[in-house]
Amino acid sequence: MQSLLSRFNRIFETAPQMLLPYRWVVLCIFTAVTGVMMVGMFKHFSMDMSLESWFQDDDPIKLSLDEYRDQFGSDDSVYVIYHPKDNDTFSEKSLTLIQELHKEIDNARMGLSESRALDLLNRIERIDSLYNARYQIADGDTLISKKLIGNDFPKTGVTREARRQLAKSQESFELIYHSKDFRYGGIRLKTDFGVVPVEAQTEGNTPLEIDLLMDDGELGFEGEDSLEISLEAEIEKTQYASMQMDEYLNFMTALRLITEQPKYEHFEFHYTGNAPVMEFAMNNMMEASILLGLMVLMVVGLLWSLFHSFSAVIWPITVIAASAFWTIGVGSWAGITFSTMVILTYMLILAVGIADCVHVLSAYILFRGEQHDHTSAMAMAYRKTGLPILLTTITTMAGMLALLLSDIPQIGVFGVTSAIGVLAAFLLTIFVLPVLLDIWHPFNENKINQSDKTNSFNQFLDRVLAKIPDFSGRHAKAIVMAYLGFFALLIYGASDVKVDSNFAELAKEGSAIQITFDIVDKHMMGGLNMEILLDFDAQDALKDPKVLRRIEKLQLHVEKNYPDFILKTFSLADIVKDTNKVMHQGLDEYKRIPKDPRLTAQLLYLFDSANSADRRNLVSDDYSRSHISLHLKNKGTYEYTDFFSDIQNDVRQIILPLDGTYPSMKAEATGSLTLMMELIDHIAWTQLKSFSFALLIITLIMMLTLGSIQAGLISMIPNLLPAFFTFGLMGLLDIPLDTDTLIIAPLIIGIAVDDTIHFLAHYRDSWYETGDVDLALKNTINEVGRAVTFTTLILGLGFSVLAFSDYLGLAKPGIFGSAAIFIALSSDLFFLPALIKWLKPDLGRSRYISNKRLKTTS
């Protein structure tokens, strides 16, 4: 192994000299490959930003979501809450304006609006507001079912008050169309998001239009008297087009064009649903790209201030940019569909690329400063840094490829593309950077000497670094004990960390999205929903009073027992109860499920004869399947864990006893909350699995390259410390660990491992050479101290830019990632030297020496 490593050192040492005669060939190849990759990127790049892309095609969750959509239509509505300035949704002004707004959106959805920018609102299938909410009341022997406002606008205060009382009498209106105190109102926009068949999106008009006179003769039962079931008939499985994030963004932009007109300034609008959340995320992605730009600027600034050379700025940026083009290019040519996680891939490439280049540049400048000429300084720099760079490349690639263990397609793609990115950065650092440095190198004797003299930071850094070996030598045990104590505290903290994702907490306090969630929870129907799917596998089961009474019992039970979570429940039982009441002159005592199955069936006849799309939202045609909707307050998934299992238990106890009559019945929970909980649980386990595997691989590589099990284990503490620091601190400060932070964890480990490898690889070389721990440590810190500090400063400060994001999913990784990077530096500079000083690991030196002796004697 050792001889293999020495051979690598020699290869890296001679590589620049071998390449230089062919510099133009190298440059041509580099330019050509980059060009090809850029073409691939611009021609074939595709991105899927839908929620469904997080699930595999055959994932039961995705299948059940599709089944739900097949049966009950889109579950993806936009809910607009409005707050009138006069605090009364029934004031003349509020009702007039809501009528106008309703009609304006309605016209836009039908394409009747003059502005083509509003055409995107044709995704709205139905608008429900106080304007068209249909009430049902009994007036003697007349059953009145009319729109609350409709054509009959209440012009006087008395008539408006009468309408308010009418609205009050309709239980289904409260929290949906108005708040309890009438200060807030709601407009529900039912959309076709997620239920547009794929072919409808791709094809224009149907082929039938092309040949109108062709008789398709598709009726298979002509002449037969009744419709028989055909066992051979196959249902054409409808493939629904996934919703892309920009579709949500464009939809919201069009909607805001209407609501943000000055004439509606009487209202303060808030939006909930997937579309506004995605709009928020998209806007944040744009903000993130600005922040990433700032991060690059900061990196440029730091590179300049640390090296005082334009070539030391331009070449690393060239390597990083080209690595990114190569990565996305390879992926695009290979037909990979990217996700929003591509931003993390960019960040990783930036981190790894910077680390690779800064180590080479630092070493080069160090050796030039030691009076070596350009060629030998290059050879020595690559001899010293080539192997550690290879090792960091292998470990980071292994860490990223471990993500392939995930069964979440997006995470797998992220793993593979990031591994490609790391490899690209390595290849370019080893094969292209020497050529670039040969053309234009950063060392100018006079300038460097002068700048080093004037650069007080570099002088300060050198002074501090010079003191470290001595300091950690003298206080080795104390430092080690302090770090181990800190490590133990972090492990304790990490054991207490809760994995929790909360939509509202994606944004900073006081942001529009948080205010909206707050209002919708306090005044309206809540920001989350849960559906209990009921499948009795028997025609007309849902007309059976026994079944309806069980459903009612479950609703009453959950409303009573979980008032902190549930705001409102709704089911077919409510329809039957309300209809029974209005058919009995509106008497409250009849607001119940009748015992007579014939009457129940006849009450449902009315519902059957209404809008069939509305009916199908609630119950299947044959009344075998339905769902109970629970409108929930927005809380994190952590808080919902117990609630979730309690509800499942209640369903088992209250609904499932019906299996005596309906043996093959099923009842299960689904809906946005369930989806989110499943996804988060999935991501947490996936990441844990990938982490463990990555750590195992990294430890094995470290053991092999450092020549001893002991050394491999030693290296793991500084490797683990930064990741545990993030999780531990979150646990200690009671900050929930969300999916975004979980996903960024491999990045933190990758960066931490990099510094440790550079440190230990240099130390091993020096230790083999000198056999003196103190001297080896001194040499190591002298050689790599500046480089690891520089990379830490660049990446740590670069990451900290993200902390300014409004989106906490980006800000949190920014803050914790940046802190972890600095922790990694401190453990490499203080803990590792102290531990080495204390344990004095041999790292296979004795075997190396005896082998060397044997060779010399022979």
Q: Which residues bind another protein (CB under 8 A)?
A: 106, 109-112, 122, 141-147, 150-152, 197, 200, 205-206, 208, 212-213, 215, 218-222, 225-230, 232-236, 238, 539-540, 543, 583, 596-599, 601-603, 605-606, 608-612, 615-616, 621-622
Min CB(162)–another protein separation in Å: 16
Min CB(758)–another protein separation in Å: 59
Angle, helix 476-495 to helix 456-474, in steps of 10 degrees: 100
Q: Tell me the sheet residues that pair with 88.
A: none
Question: What span, in angstroms and rounded, lies between the C-alpha atoms of 693 and 70?
Answer: 40
Tokens standing for residue 32: 């050509």
Name the 3-class secondary structure at 835: helix
Min CB(68)–another protein separation in Å: 15
Question: What span, in angstroms and rounded, lies between the C-alpha atoms of 261 and 274?
Answer: 23
**Closer to another protein by Cβ: residue 110 or 556:** 110
**Closer to another protein by Cβ: residue 58 or 222:** 222
Helix residue spans in 496-562 (DSSP H): 512-522, 545-561
**Closer to another protein by Cβ: residue 590 or 638:** 590
**Closer to another protein by Cβ: residue 141 or 509:** 141
Question: What span, in angstroms and rounded, lies between the C-alpha atoms of 117 and 125?
Answer: 18
Min CB(215)–another protein separation in Å: 5
Min CB(538)–another protein separation in Å: 11
Which position has the token pair 């040499």? 779
Min CB(813)–another protein separation in Å: 41
**Closer to another protein by Cβ: residue 578 or 765:** 578
Question: What span, in angstroms and rounded, lies between the C-alpha atoms of 253 and 123?
Answer: 13
Question: What span, in angstroms and rounded, lies between the C-alpha atoms of 783 and 388?
Answer: 13
Min CB(253)–another protein separation in Å: 20
Question: What span, in angstroms and rounded, lies between the C-alpha atoms of 98 and 90?
Answer: 10
Q: What's the distance, Cα to Cα, between the start and end of the chain in Å?
A: 20
Min CB(146)–another protein separation in Å: 5
Min CB(147)–another protein separation in Å: 5
DSSP for residue 242:
P
804 in Cβ contact with 291 (< 8 Å): yes
Listing DSSP states for 81-135 in one string gives EEEETTS-TTSHHHHHHHHHHHHHHHHHHTT-SS-GGGGGGGGEEEEESTTTPEE
Min CB(281)–another protein separation in Å: 27
Q: Which of 573, 570, 561 is closest to 649 using CA atoms? A: 561
Min CB(200)–another protein separation in Å: 5
Question: What span, in angstroms and rounded, lies between the C-alpha atoms of 53 and 69?
Answer: 17
Question: What span, in angstroms and rounded, lies between the C-alpha atoms of 97 and 444?
Answer: 72
Question: What span, in angstroms and rounded, lies between the C-alpha atoms of 4 and 1?
Answer: 5
Min CB(220)–another protein separation in Å: 3
**Closer to another protein by Cβ: residue 222 or 373:** 222
566 in Cβ contact with 559 (< 8 Å): yes
What letters, b where the CB count within 10 A reaches 16 and e where it falls short, cover 100-139?
A: ebbebbbebbeeebeeeebebbebbbbbbbbbbbbbbbbe
**Closer to another protein by Cβ: residue 201 or 376:** 201
Kindly report the CA angle at 179 between 175 and 181, in degrees rounded to 5? 145
**Closer to another protein by Cβ: residue 116 or 855:** 116
| Number of residues that this document lists for the chain | 858
**Closer to another protein by Cβ: residue 147 or 263:** 147
Tokens standing for residue 465: 């670094």
